[in-house]
């Protein structure tokens, strides 16, 4: 039976072949090798549908060893830190309230029409006295998971992320503790199959640089090179993301945020069973071959998840 995967557009398929080393004729064999390895892991119980697993192969440029490591970390971290990474419903009133603020959106047209997906987080729209950072991150996490399943531009070309701090306060920044930042950084770099191609900060507020400089060293050198702080200079942002690819709320042509929120509300409804099923997947550390993981050691500010050998 051929792999149950959406066909890419000819342009995306060419990019996948050239940049991700995808070989369409070999896809079935690559997925079979991945699934065989999964069956041999007594501690690991992941989703195994083709569309989900191919995201990990594409996110690792078809290195099977890296895809194994990423999938294991994806479920290890979700099991250990469910409040951070494991969304099991999108129906809670708080979840929908945060989403309806329009603080978090994925824009409909990718950069340059065929490039990375553009995501925006408008931090100031979620007042800290009403919503905490973990509640907001649950919405971001759910949107990422849907992107893994259905967004071919994000899977092949990655994501360009814009953090707009207009209306935010120092209290927003101080919600993100160093230990929390470490978890999100490790999850983003080492567990998530979607590749972050650039992270732009605009309308930055007083005190941002000091906090930013604490968190920046937690990232790999490669990711540090993809960070851009523009202050209030929108021109610096539009040099890299032309205005037409920003939403209408920014004077661009790439969707109105109100319409995007309404479309995603329906999407969350459609995916509710998918999220409920997340409760059944994960890892059982008591069954992991080899030594157990020292999570506290791994996630001290000096510690790093990179010490974990999962192959």
Predicted confidence (pLDDT) per residue in 237-247, tens digit: 999 999 999 99
> How many residues are given for the chain?
311
Buried b (16+ CB within 10 A) or exposed e, 56-95: bbbbbebeeebbbbbbbbbbbbbbbbeebbbbeebeeeeb
Number of other residues whose CB lies within 10 A of the CB of residue 161: 20
The model's confidence at residue 300, banded by pLDDT at 50, 70 and 90, is low
The model's confidence at residue 298, banded by pLDDT at 50, 70 and 90, is low
Minimum mean pLDDT range among 30-44, 212-226, 292-306? 292-306
Q: Which residues pair with 282 in a beta bridge?
A: 45
Given a cut of 50, whether residue 69 has pLDDT beyond it is yes
In whole angstroms, give the CA distance from residue 156 to residue 221: 22
Task: Identify whether the C-beta of residue 163 lies closer than 8 Å to the C-beta of residue 123.
Answer: yes
Given a cut of 80, whether residue 180 has pLDDT beyond it is yes
In whole angstroms, give the CA distance from residue 216 to residue 52: 30
Q: Quick one: pLDDT at residue 301? A: 45
Helical (H) or strand (E) element with 122 = strand 117-122
DSSP 176: S
Q: Quick one: pLDDT at residue 3? A: 82
Helical (H) or strand (E) element with 228 = strand 227-229
Predicted confidence (pLDDT) per residue in 250-284, tens digit: 999 999 999 999 999 999 999 999 999 999 999 99
Given a cut of 80, whether residue 306 has pLDDT beyond it is no
The model's confidence at residue 308, banded by pLDDT at 50, 70 and 90, is very low
Predicted confidence (pLDDT) per residue in 49-67, tens digit: 999 999 999 999 999 999 9
Given a cut of 90, whether residue 310 has pLDDT beyond it is no
In whole angstroms, give the CA distance from residue 224 to residue 218: 9
In whole angstroms, give the CA distance from residue 222 to residue 139: 26
Q: Quick one: pLDDT at residue 181? A: 87
- Full-model pTM: 0.92
């Amino acid at each position: 039976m051929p792999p149950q995967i959406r066909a890419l557009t000819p342009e995306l398929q060419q990019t996948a072949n050239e940049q991700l080393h995808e070989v369409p004729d070999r896809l079935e064999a690559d997925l079979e090798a991945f699934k065989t390895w999964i069956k041999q892991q007594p501690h690991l119980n992941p989703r195994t549908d083709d569309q989900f697993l191919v995201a990990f192969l594409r996110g690792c440029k078809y290195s099977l060893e890296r895809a194994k490591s990423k999938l294991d970390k994806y479920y290890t971290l979700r099991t250990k830190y469910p409040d951070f990474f494991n969304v099991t419903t999108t129906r809670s009133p708080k979840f929908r309230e945060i989403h309806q603020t329009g603080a978090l959106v994925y824009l409909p047209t990718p950069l340059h029409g065929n490039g990375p997906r553009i995501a925006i987080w408008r931090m100031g729209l979620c007042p800290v006295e009403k919503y905490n950072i973990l509640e907001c991150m649950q919405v971001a996490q759910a949107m990422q998971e849907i992107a893994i399943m259905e967004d071919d531009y994000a899977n092949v070309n990655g994501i360009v992320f814009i953090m707009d701090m207009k209306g935010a306060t120092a209290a927003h920044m101080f919600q993100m503790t160093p230990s929390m930042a470490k978890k999100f950084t490790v999850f983003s770099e080492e567990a998530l199959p979607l590749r972050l191609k650039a992270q732009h900060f605009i309308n930055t507020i007083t005190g941002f640089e000091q906090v930013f400089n604490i968190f920046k060293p937690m990232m790999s050198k490669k990711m540090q090179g993809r960070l851009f702080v523009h202050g209030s200079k929108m021109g610096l942002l539009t040099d890299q993301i032309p205005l037409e690819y920003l939403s209408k709320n920014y004077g661009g042509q790439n969707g109105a945020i109100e319409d995007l929120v309404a479309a995603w509300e329906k999407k969350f409804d459609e995916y509710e069973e998918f999220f409920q099923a997340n409760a059944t997947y994960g890892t059982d550390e008591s069954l992991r071959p080899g030594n157990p993981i020292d999570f506290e050691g791994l996630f001290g500010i000096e510690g790093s998840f990179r010490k974990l050998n999962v192959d």
